[in-house]
Structure 1
């Protein structure tokens, strides 16, 4: 799952778990014991979500739709596509409108900027300036993300072409997402008490 899903799957009443869940990709190994306990819990939650996602058969079906063209980048693409479907169908998952939710997340991250790892601090201004979390709901927003990812891989990933595949498999991928998201929400509801 990508940024929006990780944030959404955090307990809504615990900002530190949300921060940990957000920053986890920029934290290596066990180098997070200096963080407060709830940020550590968020990092553990993020990793549990990633493990569950990577081993899930529905996600594997989604990846297989893309693997021939993108190889090992298929998982990254599916994570972003799933964030698209979450943003597009946000009203089915949250009573808080997406624009209000994303603005509150941005404000939280700005307020806690000194807590964030350096790579996250570098990413945050771009995320806010281009309103990634909100714009995931739009095809153009996803295209911008894919173009940026392709530039970061110096063109090797061909992720700039992924919108073609999103449009080709749109209904199937959206169905995959909805089925998987139901399973993932249930998994997190159980996992949150273990971390």
Structure 2
């Protein structure tokens, strides 16, 4: 899952949301002494991120999508799918959330600003750009997805061709959409179970 899905799946807690996005900058065990400055809620957000990644990486719908993309993007196929799925979440937002999309974006942005002091320095330019250019909204458009894919491609160690992956999205649009619709209600249930166990609230629509 990419930024939009991780933020959405965090529910209503600011600290869960911040911890979920922060996880990419946390190495190793959550309870390692280097992470002792994080609150228990931030740590739960880090844990939720890892649960989401494990669930996504082992889901059959995601594997099915990879079969179409692997020949072009190899090990980066999963990265491309993550960004595609953010597109479909933005497009189908009101199928999964009772919170207006604009309100959600404002809340997510403000949450990150409220915890600016605990964000690693190397994370701050990304967050600043996300807010300034409203990445989360842009994911609903092909040009926004192309920009996201190009940005990721520029940061890879090897040539990935991901900047061209918007063409595959257009070509197989209904196929990826169908697999997203199979996958996303199930990951919502997975995250709902986690949030309920920890007594956090959310605005998810549970699709039966």
Same fold (TM over 0.5): yes
Distance in 2 between residues matched to 1:19 and 1:52, nearest whole Å: 20
Q: Which runs of 5+ in 1 are unaligned?
A: none
- Consecutive aligned runs of 4 or more in structure 1 exceeding 4 Å deviation: none
1:67-146 aligned at under 5 Å gives the runs 67-146=70-149
**Stretch moving more, 126-135 or 91-100:** 91-100
- Residue 192 of structure 1: CA displacement? 3.2
Structure 2 residue runs of 5 or longer lacking an equivalent are 199-208
Report SS of the residue matched to 1:192: helix
Question: Distance between the aligned counterparts of 1:154 and 1:45, measured in 2?
Answer: 28
Query: Alignment RMSD, CA only?
Result: 1.5
Structure with larger RCO (C-alpha < 8 A, sep 6+): 2
Match in the other structure for 1:25: 24
Q: Secondary structure at the match of 2:35?
A: coil
Q: 1:98 to 1:155 in 2, by over 3 A?
A: farther
Q: 1:170 aligns with which of 168, 173, 185?
A: 173
Q: Structure 1 residues 42 and 129 mapped into 2: Cα distance closer, same or farther (>3 Å)? A: same
Contact conserved, 2:19 with 2:45, CA < 8 A, in 1?
Answer: yes
Q: Which moved more, 1:54-63 or 1:111-120?
A: 111-120
